[in-house]
Amino acid sequence: MDSKQKHTQFIKQEAKRLGFDYCGISKADFLEDEAPRLEKWLKENKQGQMAYMANYFDKRLDPRLLVEGSKSVISLLYNYYPQQTQVANAPKISKYAYGQDYHEIIKIKLQEFLFSLKENIGDINGRAFVDSAPVLDKAWAKKSGLGWIGKNSNLITKENGSFFFIAELIIDLELEYDGPIKDYCGTCSKCIDACPTQAIVAPYVVDGSKCISYLTIELKEAIPSEFKTNMDNWVFGCDVCQDVCPWNRFSKINQEPLFTNTTGLLNFSEAEWHEITEESFQLVFKHSAVKRTKYKGLKRNLEFIKPQRKIKD
């Protein structure tokens, strides 16, 4: 076994030890196929007010500009599919936000991963990323064979669906590389048909400015009135296009204890949500991804979906 094989094998074993469900490796190179797609998407203003999507355009497409001397992109998936559910009729939050903020949890694992690589392989240079830099996560995960990008623009695995966080290590070590797998969406259009705001404007194309996740999290202004009857009771993110995806019937409950909600949030009634105070918000969402929308943003979202009828306890 040569050093490339040995190092690749070690990396995949370490990924498993640290709790990552999937690990695939790609050569750090220019993302030729994604360049025209991203450019077109930006020109059509499908990023809405997410101005950061237009920043560092070159770095998004070439990790060698992001991490000096990089040779490999290690893509990792971490399952967040929950056993818990929210009570009926309550304002809804995306499943990924049920427990502790994934950034905090996965970042620690990635730091340990990098430390382990340096301890066992030698003096390598690299950086860890989890939704925190100009990295096209899904494109790299696809390139390394972890899944395909579905018509809802999410990465889908054939074995366990799409309820995964994506993270990367970009390092200056040459490894054995995986290749992409085929697209298994076929003729299915369930995600397109089910999207409450018709944000999936064509197969594989999401107009970010219409997506409920964008409207409830990224948008800082008032939510446009045209969406008043289309929010489907969501106040933080949206899971509709994943919930209806046939591949998610294979989703398995995550094994991460920190993703289990311990704040009582999932038992909030409709009335409790609408009556939440800033003090309660700070307490309940202290370690949650929901804090990203801030109290003001959450109240805006709650007001926007507030039913006209009187809410009863």
Q: What would the two tokens of residue 31 be? A: 């993302």
Distance between CA atoms of residues 237 and 95, nearest Å: 9
Which runs of E-coded beta strand occur in 21-171?
Answer: 22-27, 72-79, 92-93, 126-129, 148-149, 155-156, 164-171
Distance between CA atoms of residues 230 and 234, nearest Å: 9
Q: What would the two tokens of residue 70 be? A: 């990089």
Question: Quick check: helix, strand or coil at residue 304?
Answer: helix
In which element (H, E) is residue 235 found? strand 234-236
Residue 58 has, within 13 A of its CA and on its CB side, a CA count of 4
Question: Quick check: helix, strand or coil at residue 137?
Answer: helix
Q: Which amino acid is at 302?
A: L
Sheet of 72-79, strands arranged across: 22-27, 72-79, 164-171, 126-129
Q: Does the annotation mark 21 as catalytic?
A: no
Q: Is 155 left (phi over 0), alpha (psi -120 to 50) or beta?
A: beta
CB neighbours of residue 90 within 10 Å:
19
Query: Which residues does 294 contact at the CB level (< 8 Å), separation at least 6?
Result: none
Q: What would the two tokens of residue 58 be? A: 């070159």
Distance between CA atoms of residues 106 and 108, nearest Å: 5
Active-site residue, from 29, 62, 131, 243: 131
Distance between CA atoms of residues 169 and 80, nearest Å: 20
Task: Give, to the nearest 10 degrees, the angle between helix 3-17 and helix 102-120.
Answer: 150
Which residues are catalytically annotated? 131
